[in-house]
Structure 1
Amino acid sequence: MNSGDGTPARDRQGPDAAPQVRLPDGAAPVVCVDIGGTKVAASVVDQRGIQGRLVEPTAKEGASDALAQQVLRMIDHSCLAAQVRRGDLASVGVASCGPFVRKHGCIELAAPNICGGLAGAARGLPNTWTSAVLEAPLRDAFPKLRIENDGLAALEAERRWGALQGLDHCAYVTWSTGIGVGLCVDGRLLHGKNGNAGHAGHMFVSDNDDALCGCGNIGDVEALVAGNALPRRFATLGYADAAAMLAAAQAGETPAAAVMDDVCRVMGRALYNLVVTLDLQRISIGGSVFWHHRDYLLPRLQAQLSGRLPALTDGVELVPAGLQDKVGDYAALALVT
């Protein structure tokens, strides 16, 4: 089945399932790439839906174009798995963590969880990059290329297929390895001078002098609550990662529960700041940290909004991402369909 109007068809498997998006009959296939601080995913989308999906840890060693070379290789392998020729592709969409910087007119990534040269050796990344080359090698291979911040791309996908459909004042927030945000006001997606609007993960919401972010800040939101920040900050409690800490908190272990209450206060304040600054209707939340523990986290985040400045917060909803744990795939797809 296709939509009949040139837009991707959408199927659902059960009332709460993420839509299964396929291209209309006769449409040329596209490639979707999702770049995060932990992993890179690449897939082909055609009339059958998402095909040849590959996932690898994000390249962080070698020359500063290692990530771009990884993406090119993954696209070729994904095409091979999907039985699609590179020359048949209509376009390539890349949803990537940022911030972005422009060098010689092309986007490079100054991403805190990829580039070790931003915060230095203390951050523990295996490179000294201050930016990772991305656009130039990809555009040489694929002239029809669109790259956007992953928060913005996910917002576009959530507005088309997910939990933000029909809304003109909304945001998407990912709570994962890092904190990413996409913003929409008056029906317009906000980009900023270099495509970096929405980097609210680097705002300051509390006093802290020991939480080092990969961007070099000490004590910003990402340094305090991101998935890779929690085990660094609270290693003495003995939890291997954010998932273990959250599981312990849900099981009622007092130290973990106290930590997560404070973490939700920080994250909730960041969401409150977005709502009152931009006068939003709804925020959709995804990302691995949030998604796998959403029933525990969501009411604690909502509590940081409820009752505060009702003129701006009454009726504002925090909701799980309608595209569930597939937001990254659909984010890149939204850029090229």
Structure 2
Amino acid sequence: MSFAHSGTDQVVLALDFGGTKTALTVADARLGTRLHDLTVDTDPDLKRAVGAARALLAGREPLAVGVSTIGIPGPAGVALAENIPGWDRLPLAHELALEFPESAIRVATDVKAAAAHEYRSGALAGCEPGLYVNLGTGLAVALVTQGAVLAGRHGASGEIGYNLRRLADVGRTDRVPLEDAVSGRALQQGVLTDEFTRELAFHLVNLTIAVDPQRIAVGGGMVRSWDALHDPLRTALDAAVPYPPQLVPAAHPYDAPLLGALALAVAAARPAPPAP
């Protein structure tokens, strides 16, 4: 299928599906310059997101659609996306291809899309390796090494929200996963506590020892509390990690997943290089 369109008004569409909100942008297909933005509530059947996209597109068909989403997108559904009922049975790329049949569709996990963007042009630029930590409604990380985000066998690398919290959790199926205690969703009235930051630091230290990153960039809504987060995390890293990395907020802490989706769309809209 060809994705070449006529005319000068060539655009791409990017969507970032979060657990409660979906961010959208329409951008110039060549430069990626954002033209129109919108945020709507996330709905399980895509109707609200598609309607918002059509309103932003104003009759134009996008050359490509780039998507970032919570969970692990696959051909039969989006796994590990419990916040959106029914998404485990939603073939996201297929459904969007039906809505935008003339467009190239590219789909990625939100935190991995964010990490790729921060590596290309953000806080992880030039880092080898770099670690992106998302502290938002949920909790996850992404490791960038040699220019690529580590995906893992099932695309679930970095899903530390499923970590065990204590020794008593070993072998149990009825345990409370880490994300239920350490995430924006877990905060009581949005107030950071010593217990919260200590448990976050415990897992961040162990992860840092395992991967030895040059720099850690933190993104997500909780970066709004960076002043309260930085000192306990910095102290914990310095006390326990043999080679403590830099610790910084992401360059685009709140919209890196959307920018990552936009990068996917711009790349998909470019003409394929000629065969040698």
Q: Unaligned regions of 5+ residues in structure 1, if any? A: 1-25, 61-65, 116-127, 210-215, 232-240, 247-259
1:203–1:101 distance in 2 versus 1, CA, 3 Å: farther
1:178 matches 2:107: no
Runs (4 or more) in structure 1 with deviation over 6 Å come to none
- Matched pairs, number: 252
- TM norm structure 1: 0.68
Distance in 2 of aligned mates of 1:54 and 1:208: 45
Query: CA separation in 2, counterparts of 1:95 and 1:226?
Result: 19
Task: Please tell me whether the aligned partners of residues 205 and 241 of structure 2 are also in contact (alpha carbons under 8 angstroms).
Answer: no
Structure 1, residues 177-200: CA drift from partner, whole Å, max 9, x if none? 111222113443211233222111
1:93 equivalent in alignment to 2:93: no
Distance in 1 separating the partners of 2:214 and 2:32: 35
Letter in 2 for 1:336: A
Change (3 A) 1:27 1:185: farther
Identity score, percent: 30
Alpha carbons 2:117, 2:259 under 8 Å: kept: yes
Change (3 A) 1:217 1:129: farther
Which of the numbers 247, 259, 263 marks the counterpart of 2:196? 263
Which residue in the other structure is 2:270 paired with?
none
> 2:274: which partner in 1?
none
Gaps of 5+ in 2: 1-7, 267-276
Higher relative contact order (CA 8 A, sep 6+): 2
DSSP 3-state at the match of 2:67? strand
Q: Judging changes above 3 Å, is the alpha-carbon distance between structure 1 residues 336 and 130 closer, same or farther for their aligned structure 2 residues?
A: closer
Mapping for residues 1-337 of structure 1, pairs under 5 Å: 28-46=10-28, 49-60=33-44, 66=45, 68-80=46-58, 85-86=60-61, 89-103=62-76, 107-115=77-85, 130-142=88-100, 143-206=103-166, 218-231=175-188, 241-242=189-190, 245-246=191-192, 260-289=193-222, 291-310=223-242, 313-314=243-244, 316-337=245-266
**C-alpha RMSD of matched pairs (Å):** 2.4
Counterparts in 2 of 1:202 and 1:55: CA distance versus 1, 3 Å: same
TM-score between the two structures when normalised by the length of structure 2: 0.82
